[in-house]
Amino acid sequence: MNSNAQIIEKIREMEKLIASGAILDAPDNEPERQYYFMAKLKEYVAGVKERLGRALYACTKTFGCQMNARDSEKLEGILKVIGYETTESEKADFVIYNTCTVRENANLKVYGHLGLLSNYKKKNPDMMICMCGCMMQEEHVVEKIKKSYRFVDLVFGTHNIYKFAELLYDRVSQNSMIIDIWKDTDRVVEELPIERKFSFKSGVNIMFGCNNFCSYCIVPYVRGRERSREPEDIIAEIKKLAEDGVVEIMLLGQNVNSYGKNLENPMTFAQLLKEVEKIDGIERIRFMTSHPKDLSDELIEVMAASKKICRQLHLPVQSGSSRILKIMNRHYDKEHYLKLVEKIKKAMPDISLSTDIIVGFPGETEEDFEDTMDVVRKVKYDSAFTFIYSKRSGTPAAAMEEQIPEEVVKERFDRLLAEVQSGANERTARFEGQVKKALVEDVNTQLEGYVTGRLESSMVVHFPGDSSLIGKIVDVELTEAKGFYFIGKQREI
């Protein structure tokens, strides 16, 4: 795994080969093929800048999960290589919407943003708009874009993100909308530029796709089947990140617990973690998401023995009702989940647990909902992401009868939220007065003279400090618990 600097040097070498006439056509092998198109795009962008007499700016808006955020870093890396500068303004010369489709609200939000872009593009004819990500894997979405948003320049999905440079070159060459959606892929292309959001922490994809087919979830249909990266590629990437000053990594996958099953030489997720732990310079290891059905005793043992793996685990329960869990196709029941939590807490009494919960799944009765409330009371999560069920076309749950009335769902959701917050407040308070290590992530924009750090539990703490602390892990006394965050002060130990 090469560093960004080495990848950029390879692209420069490709430019020289093209200029000398040694290479006339794009290579067939990857990633060299993409280097060819990046080199060609650099020439194109330089020409546009010269014609306009100014720099060109690109804005990337990411909707959804950490997987999407990591994908956006790859897209931004390519845009930077070909000559764009980064901006937060959607009035930019190039705008990417990396979309999510887990819930209907995410789709509606994207359409709302697109309406604004139409006006911006009328004022800037050189502006280009790219739509990618999970939402683009749905046929009805692509049809709507083709019909109602003809000003969009480039549309692609989740499986061919590595071809961004090639697709963009097709767009500027043909001067027409390019749409390239793959149904699935078994390809994992390495060695592409990445523009990281943080210098001190980074996500690392260890696998792509999902094989679980939970009845409410669109992800397997838009992200494809599970495919794991080779462990040596993952380790090489993390070593490069460590050399570049990264101290915390987040291992990413739709279900990290099933990592390695499809490799030619299978490796468990726990075994991968042990290899990652050996890497000098990496001080914190996180991962998500964990499916309860695949969380092994081996993983619990590795976490408990580790000095680098954070004592924090995101363990989505979705529902506390065994009946609903069966209809959801989750492959565990309430009793299994609670026994798993008990086992985890026995091995790691200081563990911080978070979860996902869906309210209003089709057919959910008051008794089913009370089972969920019972799980929340017993587990006492440090935090929970609570969602009202969102019907996603193409999933089995969307066709189920007994869709729950909105007013019933809203009342249950409010009760659940109150219970989650009560338990989280109790959990947070247990740390008050203790000294914990915090990775300083930013200067606090609300409290003058303060910085914001993240604890091992993933909770945040605000304490006096300045920008010189960013990227450092420091000892902080948690002087006051404020529900979902702390106020503290740095301690010299």
Output the pLDDT for position 493: 56
pLDDT at 244: 93
- In the chain, the N- to C-terminal Cα span, in Å, equals 38
Summarize the confidence of residues 278-304 as an average pLDDT. 96
The pLDDT of residue 121 is 94
pLDDT band at residue 234 under the 50/70/90 scheme: very high
Model confidence pLDDT, tens digit, residues 400-455: 988 899 999 999 999 999 999 998 888 888 899 999 999 999 999 999 999 999 99
Report pLDDT for 103. 74
The pLDDT assigned to 305 comes to 97
Does the pLDDT at position 54 exceed 80? yes
Q: What pTM value is reported for the model?
A: 0.86
Confidence (pLDDT) at 183: 87
Q: pLDDT digits over 462-475, tens only?
A: 999 999 999 999 99
pLDDT band at 1 (very low <50, low <70, confident <90, very high): low
* pLDDT value, residue 483: 79
Dump pLDDT digits (tens) for 113-139. 898 899 999 999 999 999 999 999 989
201: pLDDT strictly greater than 90: yes
* Number of Cβ within a 10 Å radius of residue 275: 14
pLDDT at 223 over 90: no
For the ranges 59-73, 229-243, 265-279, the lowest mean pLDDT is seen at: 59-73
Residue with tokens 């650099």: 42
Quick check: 260 pLDDT over 80? yes
Least confident of 348-357, 385-394, 441-450, 456-465: 385-394
- What does DSSP say about strands 284-288 and 201-205: parallel, antiparallel, or unpaired? unpaired
Residue 73 has pLDDT above 60, yes or no: yes
Angle between helices 269-277 and 231-243 (to 10 degrees): 30
Per-residue pLDDT, averaged over 236-255, amounts to 95
Neighbours of 70 (CB within 10 A): 19
pLDDT at 329 exceeding the cut of 80:
yes
Instruction: Return the structure tokens found at 42.
Output: 């650099």
CA pseudo-torsion sign 302, 305, 306, 309? positive
d(CA 54, CA 334): 60
pLDDT value of residue 206: 96
Q: Is the pLDDT of residue 2 over 90?
A: no
